[in-house]
Chains A and B, each alone.
Chain A
Amino acid sequence: MDYFAQQLINGLVLGSIYGLIAIGYTMVYGIVGMINFAHGDIFMIGGFIALISFLILVAMGMTAVPLILLLVLLVAMATTALYGWTVERIAYRPLRQSFRLAPMLSAIGMSFVLSNFAQVAQGARVKPVPPIITGGYTLFEQDGFVVRLSNIQIIIVVTTVVLLAVFSWLVARTRLGRDMRACEQDQTMAALLGVDVDRTISMTFVIGAALAAVAGMMYLLYYGVVDFFMGFLAGIKAFTAAVLGGIGSLPGAMLGGIAIGLIETFWSAYFSTEYKDVAAFSILIIVLIFLPTGLLGRPEVEKV
């Protein structure tokens, strides 16, 4: 029971990170109908930016940890959002009218560009950081096994919940959210009714990248490492989460993320660590085959 409870906590935390990345996939897929292969690498860039800005702030002599974290979060979100914007502007916008394979290959190319850019710019070696947020609570103790809830885990889950609430509100209530939903349904009609389609799509990428940056920072704080290659696997898993939750649905992405996080954690805990990625990929395949609309998605009607 105690071991189980600890794994449950770990899984929820991991799932929150996946969920934050998955939101970017699900929004982009919903609005332009393409898999943004570069999104995982945007997450990786977010992790790097958080790391570097953290180092600079510390070197500048700042000591107040909450203030540093807040500043790092803002810098990472803003810079990574600009990455997302640039990627869309360079690699996807010129191809929007093109045939379906073109944006996909362009996205794969962009993913290579981003991960290798990070490798060239920052080196191939793993970047470790000492634990920044320490401490936590002991929930309960049983047979000498301590179930702990660390502060960083609390921060990750709370941040995720808050961000999810903010973005759900944004999509449901604001002008931008309405524009986004309009573009999702029918871009031509939306444009006729005065929606700036280009801007709306750009904003979708910006928001997705900002959330990925938060995920990147949380990953850095939680695991204490970043490397240039971490975007690929995390990206595919987050995409799995988005599909599992039902593509196009924000709460679905979060739910899917948590499901993937839990499955991965429990698989590692009870079966084998080596095959945890195989488990995640198998779930992707199984879900796509038996539940293509996902948990909270709408069925897609095929028109002739």
Chain B
Amino acid sequence: MPAITTPPSRRDKPAAVHGVAFILKKATLSALVALVLFSLMIGVRTEAGPTGQLIFWTRFGDLAMMVAAVFGGSILVELLRQAIAKRRGAPLISEQAQAKFTGLGRFLGPALLVFTFLVPVLFYDQRYILDLGILVLTYVMLGWGLNIVVGLAGLLDLGYVAFYAVGAYSYALLATTFGLSFWICLPLAGILAAFWGMLLGFPVLRLKGDYLAIVTLAFGEIIRLVLLNWQHVTGGPNGISGVPRPSFFGIPLTPADDGLAARLGIEFSSTHRVVFLFYIILALALLTNWVTIRLRRLPIGRAWEALREDEIACRSLGINTTKTKLTAFATGAMFGGFAGAFFATRQGFISPESFTFQESALVLAIVVLGGMGSQLGIALAALAMIGGFELFRGFEEFRMLVFGAAMVLLMIWRPRGLVGHREPSIFLQTKTAISSSLVKEGHG
């Protein structure tokens, strides 16, 4: 594969500050391009008519609006670019402010943790916030799980949702078929997912980079398609409904006489279960985080990071790359499986719909935006992504459009993620954070 390096070309010269004529010319060109792009796709709307015949009508108003928006947007972008170019050399945030922020960052993690613990107390009667919190924590956990594979071991996995699905279906099937409780199924789901991780890991040991990405993507799709088509086991597109809710270590959270509320002598409320679920996923996420942090200090964690930095050097130094890669896949998959089991018990209903490629892309975006390996960064990225997603709740159809656009823009703006530094796992005398641009991404 040829290296993606281009020689310094025109666009790398210090951007000169151009006059009004230049900006207008550029905006006009953009508007013209937009006109051609949108004239058919937006200017004309097609729909299958009542008789099955295709009908169409024109929407020149929308078209004009879009073109005008591109014209205005183009001027705005150019002005912004010039404003940034003027202060070239001086970073957007000064060094001191950055240092301060790094200092603050040390307290941000614990503060965030304490806040998260208090969320069910603070927002006890706001069901919506609790549900959103559970959702965010699920993605934080998925992000931390995938981080082991992508951020630590440098293996690009585009099919992480497969393990999430394996975990969810493991729990749903075990619980509905054999009536096993959540607490027995949770480790089983993790083990099964880890097993699938190994199964995927074996064939892809020799693959690198983009090829690895595409194979994992294919693997994720295969799992989804099998779940969709293996009707008599998985229920096909109808999914599995009536997945049992978790019990408080054997005590059900129901209004019945043997329920938790009755035993404690308090009034039953459905919020109890939501709060309980919140703490389960928080505990699971923290477990993922703790295991990751501990593993980074163990030989296997160091081997992962060494593998990411240079596979050939690793092999020369006698590291068993097969074992290293397989453990990374299995560990990451296991946490995906835990999260999946939790997802199944929380939803009470699962179907292949929930395990599309979009989910994998979302989790990967969280990991990359979090700075690939920064635990705090991933938590913040998950909060930003899922929170941002929630803002578009009323505009379902624009959600993915905006998500895609945000992914592109964030990659252009901060390809190294929102949190730009990493805690080194090994250091000499003093521990200093290193820039994430010094961390290799691995070649799979």
Contacts and interface: CB of A to CB of B under 8 A. Distances in A.
A35 B210 contact: yes
A113 to B, nearest CB: 4
Given A108-B361, A187-B5, A304 B312 contact: yes
A182 B339 CA distance: 48
B441 A99 contact: yes
B2 A101 contact: no
Contact of A243 (B6, B54, B214, B416): B214
A51 B6 contact: no
Contact of A117 (B41, B44, B204, B222): B41
A108 B406 CA distance: 11
A236 B224 CA distance: 15
Given A35-B213, A119-B397, A198-B9, A106 B218 contact: no
Contact of A109 (B219, B312, B398, B407): B407
Interface size class of A (residues with CB under 8 A): 35 or more
Contact of B41 (A52, A103, A127): A52
A109 B5 contact: no
Interface in B381-414: 397-398, 400-401, 403-408, 411-412
A45 B229 CA distance: 29
Given A96-B4, A99-B415, A284 B54 contact: no
A31 B215 CA distance: 21
Given A100-B441, A128-B52, A285 B219 contact: yes
B100 interface: no
Q: Which of the listed residues A75, A79, A100, A112 has the most CB atoms from chain B within 10 Å of its own CB?
A: A112
A192 B7 contact: yes
Interface in B240-278: none
B210 A292 contact: no
A128 B372 CA distance: 44
Q: Is the interface of A mostly helix, strand, loop or mixed?
A: helix
Contact of B44 (A34, A56, A125): A56
B412 A289 contact: no
A118 B4 CA distance: 31
B209 interface: yes
Interface in A63-79: 75, 79
Given A106-B408, A187-B5, A281-B221, A292 B40 contact: no
B41 A45 contact: yes
B4 A112 contact: no
A116 B400 contact: yes
Contacts, number: 226
A94 B203 CA distance: 35
B323 interface: no
Contacts of B218: 236, 240, 281-282, 284-285
A29 to B, nearest CB: 8
A302 B5 CA distance: 17
B225 interface: yes
Contacts of B124: none
B407 A106 contact: yes
B222 A33 contact: no
Contact of B405 (A56, A109, A275, A289): A109
Nearest to B207: A288
Contact of B397 (A79, A116, A243): A116
A90 B37 CA distance: 14
A123 B2 contact: no
B361 A112 contact: yes
Given A112-B403, A285-B219, A129 B441 contact: no
Contacts of A239: 214
Contact of B368 (A79, A105, A123): A105
B97 interface: no
Nearest to B38: A121
B103 to A, nearest CB: 28
Contact of A104 (B2, B211, B213): B213
Interface of B: 1-7, 9-11, 33, 36-38, 40-42, 44-48, 52-54, 56, 156, 203-204, 206-207, 209-211, 213-215, 217-219, 221-222, 225-226, 229, 312, 357-358, 361, 364-365, 368, 372, 397-398, 400-401, 403-408, 411-412, 415-416, 437, 441
24 contacts: A33-B210, A35-B210, A48-B41, A52-B40, A99-B437, A102-B368, A106-B407, A109-B404, A109-B411, A110-B404, A116-B404, A120-B397, A120-B398, A121-B42, A122-B45, A198-B6, A198-B10, A232-B357, A236-B217, A236-B221, A274-B225, A281-B218, A285-B215, A300-B1
